[in-house]
Amino acid sequence: MAKETFDRSKPHVNIGNTAILNDTSGSLTASDAASSTVGSGDTDSSILMFDASSSLSNETASVAFPIDTFFVFDPSSSGDAASIDFQLEILPTTVAGTSSVDVAFTIIQDEPFVASRSAGRIDGTETDWTLIGQSGLRLEDFQAVDGGPERPDFGRPFQFGYAFTGEYSTSALSVQLGIDNMHVEITTVPEPTSIALAVAMGISLWWNRWWCASDDEPSN
């Protein structure tokens, strides 16, 4: 199996866009910006901000970042995705209205799909960059945001990023997170032609060794 890597550990000139995945109150806003704050290991980082008004009901807010052409996987060039590993570093400056923010990998392909297993959570008590990551995510680990039975198709192109989810009610939601060193590694399944070629080369090598060994045997 091969691997394809997407790395945002370098200065974030084009950081991408946010996508609202779930907004039960209808008041959620989200934005992102480059940050002059020193990042983790370099001089640049990004800021993700999302806010929502208070509510008399329990609400859920979920946004994905970054979603742009840089974070797009195309299986036509490398084979279908088999599993996904990811990590990023987070420095919260504001976490208000919710006790914590869950972080998970997300895929957008016709509709958003979020990993059912949270990679970790941020509650605002962190005083330094916190590394969050997850490995071995497979097709069955993703679920549609609306709770439907659909799954993404790892054999088609998809955009991806990180989902940040918080629950809130009577207190207005306000979250601001520093984001840095976004890294994704996708393990791919070789295309059938590649597998066939590898098998053919293996058979050819075996045949060549057998033929040479036969030539070396003394004749009676």
| pLDDT means over runs of 10, the chain (220 residues) | 80 73 96 76 81 97 89 91 95 95 95 92 94 95 88 95 95 94 91 48 52 57
3-state helix, strand, coil in the chain (%, to 5): 15, 50, 35
Ramachandran region, residue 110 (left: φ > 0; alpha: ψ -120 to 50; beta: rest): left
Closest CA to 109 of 71, 61, 166: 71
pTM for this structure?
0.82
Angstrom distance (rounded) from CA 115 to CA 104 = 6
